[in-house]
Amino acid sequence: MARIELEQIVKRFGSLTTVHGIDLTIEDGEFVVLVGPSGCGKSTTLRMIAGLEAISSGTLRIGGEVVNDHEPKHRNIAMVFQNYAIYPHLTVAQNIGFGLYTSRLSKAEKQARIRETARTLSLEPYLERRPAALSGGQRQRVAIGRAMVRDPVAFLFDEPLSNLDAQLRAQMRLEIKQLHQRLGSTIVFVTHDQVEAMSLADRIVVMREGRILQVGAPMELYNRPADIFTARFIGTPEMNMIDATIGDGRVDLGANAAAIDVSGLASLPGDLGAGRSVVLGVRPQELTLLNGEHRDFPIRIEGKVRVAEPHGSETFVLLDLPAGQIVARAPSTVSFKAGDPVFFGATAESLRIFDKQTEKLIG
Ligand SMILES: Nc1ncnc2c1ncn2[C@@H]1O[C@H](COP(=O)(O)OP(=O)(O)OP(=O)(O)O)[C@@H](O)[C@H]1O
Ligand SMILES: [Mg+2]
């Protein structure tokens, strides 16, 4: 097991810089998920940790030792890719054992390791089968087994689940989480799926254009996103964003003023200068459908139903406001007709205020 430390890690491809000085410490036994849109540098960062990509500048330490110039095989790290290449002509046991190809263990020790790994991954019944006779999830577990069998100090996963169908992905997500609980190993996991990030991570690292925007526990990022990008990226459906201007100690909603009543807001964060352009963020799940009786919400929104999307346990309603649209969660017991006027309420705590220029959270 090992702590992984990235200090000012930079990656350049020729004159193009794709990772711009990343600082990140991954604690021993921690499950860290790198998340961000395509091309933001997740795989490049992971490959630099693995030693598959040279580090242009900065320092990488594993277990306290600087490993910038160590060969991948001397870093004792295992990597599992999206396109896990397991060998079709080898049995499950041989595929798992392939991870020990270069090891100096005795034959008996190797056999014991393979059996132990297969047991951990519930692959024991399939040891003599070939991959063609396995399900997608079982094949994925074989690929993980090949990484595990070497007893690495850390696991790096690059979108290992993105080739699987939705159901299998959800199942493998749980399996990987349980595997982490059992092994207690350090895991760095790359995905662009925020649900995967939320459900797996001890800490999520949000990346954009080769930089880290925010690092935090999933619920920290969900509740206090540092900027608009993270706010929209984490949580589904994404957070509603409404343009506004700060008037004299109050919020001016422009064209939406007739539809959004914020007169119940007691106070705004102190440092909001008058005239400042802001963006108000509120999650669909933080809106409450009002039916006339309980009107004690400091923020009230009136919109017209454009379309309702039942999810079974809840219904998401897309509402037209005078300027723009928002999504609100409603109980699945209520039915909506396009064009119907509806009211939603929000608490003061659910409202996040971002600066429109810097896109940073204010207060
Ligand atoms: N060998 C290379 N030469 C030049 N540019 C590269 C090379 N490898 C990656 N890049 C660039 O570096 C940037 C980051 O790529 P990377 O593969 O790390 O993205 P990613 O976050 O993993 O994206 P995805 O979610 O699509 O896998 C991209 O703009 C990519 O085009
Ligand atoms: Mg990638």
SS (H, E, C) 121-160: CCCHHHCCCCHHHCCHHHHHHHHHHHHHCCCCCEEEEECC
Ligand at shortest distance from the CA of 192: 1
In the reported structure, the alpha carbon of residue 47 is separated from the centroid of ligand 2 by a whole-number distance in angstroms of 10
Which residue has a Cα nearest atom 19 of ligand 1? 39
Interaxial angle between packed helices 166-183 and 107-120, expressed in degrees from 0 to 180 and rounded to the nearest 10: 120
Predicted structure pTM score: 0.90
Q: How many CB atoms lie within 10 A of CB 327?
A: 18
**Ligand closest in space to the Cα of 45:** 1
CA quadruple 284, 286, 287, 291: dihedral positive or negative? positive
Mutate to test the pocket of ligand 1, among 12, 18, 189 (most ligand atoms within 8 A of CB): 18
Give residue for tokens 């990022």: 221
Q: Alpha-carbon distance 257 to 321, whole Å?
A: 10
Q: Distance (Å, rounded) from C-alpha 302 to C-alpha 261? A: 8
Taking the CA of 42 as reference, the closest ligand is 1
Determine the distance from the C-alpha atom of residue 141 to the mean position of all C-alpha atoms in its chain, rounded to a whole number: 22
Q: Would the CB of 42 count as within 6 Å of ligand 1?
A: yes
Q: What's the CA gap between 300 and 173, in Å, rounded? A: 38
Ligand 2 mean position, distance from CA 331 (Å):
38
Contact (CB, 8 A) for 233 and 34:
no
User: At which residue do the structure tokens 């094949």 appear?
Assistant: 139
Question: Cβ contacts of residue 112 below 8 Å, gap of 6+?
Answer: none
Testing ligand 1's pocket by substitution, the residue of 9, 11, 13 carrying the most ligand atoms inside 8 A of its CB is 13
Cα end-to-end distance, the chain, whole Å: 39
- 44 Cβ below 6 A of ligand 1: yes
- Ligand 1 pocket, residue 18 CB under 6 Å: yes
Bridge partner residues of 76 (DSSP): none
* Model pLDDT, residue 35: 96
Residues in the 5 Å CB sphere of ion ligand 2: 43
* Cβ within 8 Å of residue 156, ≥6 positions away: 46, 49, 50, 77, 78, 79, 80, 187, 188, 189, 190
Task: Tell whether ligand 1 has an atom less than 6 A from the beta carbon of residue 43.
Answer: yes
CB neighbourhood size of 133 (10 A): 11
Q: Is the CB of 39 under 6 A from ligand 1?
A: yes
pLDDT at 248: 74
Helices (H) and strands (E) in the chain, counts: 8, 20
Whether 331 is in the pocket of ligand 1, judged by its Cβ within 6 Å, is: no
The CATH architecture of the domain made up of 240-362 is Beta Barrel (2.40)
Which one of the ligands is nearest to 44 CA?
1
Kindly list the averaged pLDDT for each block of 10 residues, start to end, along the chain of length 363: 93 97 97 96 96 97 96 89 82 92 88 92 93 88 89 91 82 88 93 93 97 97 96 95 86 89 75 83 96 78 96 97 96 96 94 94 84
DSSP element (H, E) containing 95: helix 92-97
- Domain boundaries of the chain, sorted by first residue: 4-233, 240-362
| CA-based nearest residue to 66, from 6, 122, 19, 119 | 6
Distance CA 34, CA 188 (A): 7
Question: Do residues 204 and 42 lie in contact, with contact meaning Cβ atoms separated by under 8 Å?
Answer: no
- Ligand nearest the Cα of residue 20 is 1
pLDDT of residue 27: 97
- pLDDT for position 271: 64
Distance (Å) from CA 43 to ligand 2 centroid: 4
- Triad 135, 137, 142: Cα angle to 5°: 95
Compute the distance from residue 45 Cα to the ligand 1 centre, in Å: 9
CATH number of 4-233: 3.40.50.300
For ligand 1, is residue 13 a contact (CB within 6 Å)?
Answer: yes
* Residues 341 and 302 sit within 8 Å (Cβ to Cβ): yes
d(CA 301, CA 298): 10
Which of 10, 34, 42, 158 should be mutated for ligand 1, with most atoms under 8 A from CB?
A: 42
Q: Hey, whose CA ends up nearest to atom 1 of ligand 1?
A: 13
**Helix %, strand %, coil % of the chain (to 5):** 25, 35, 40
Q: Ligand 2 center to residue 41 CA distance, Å?
A: 7
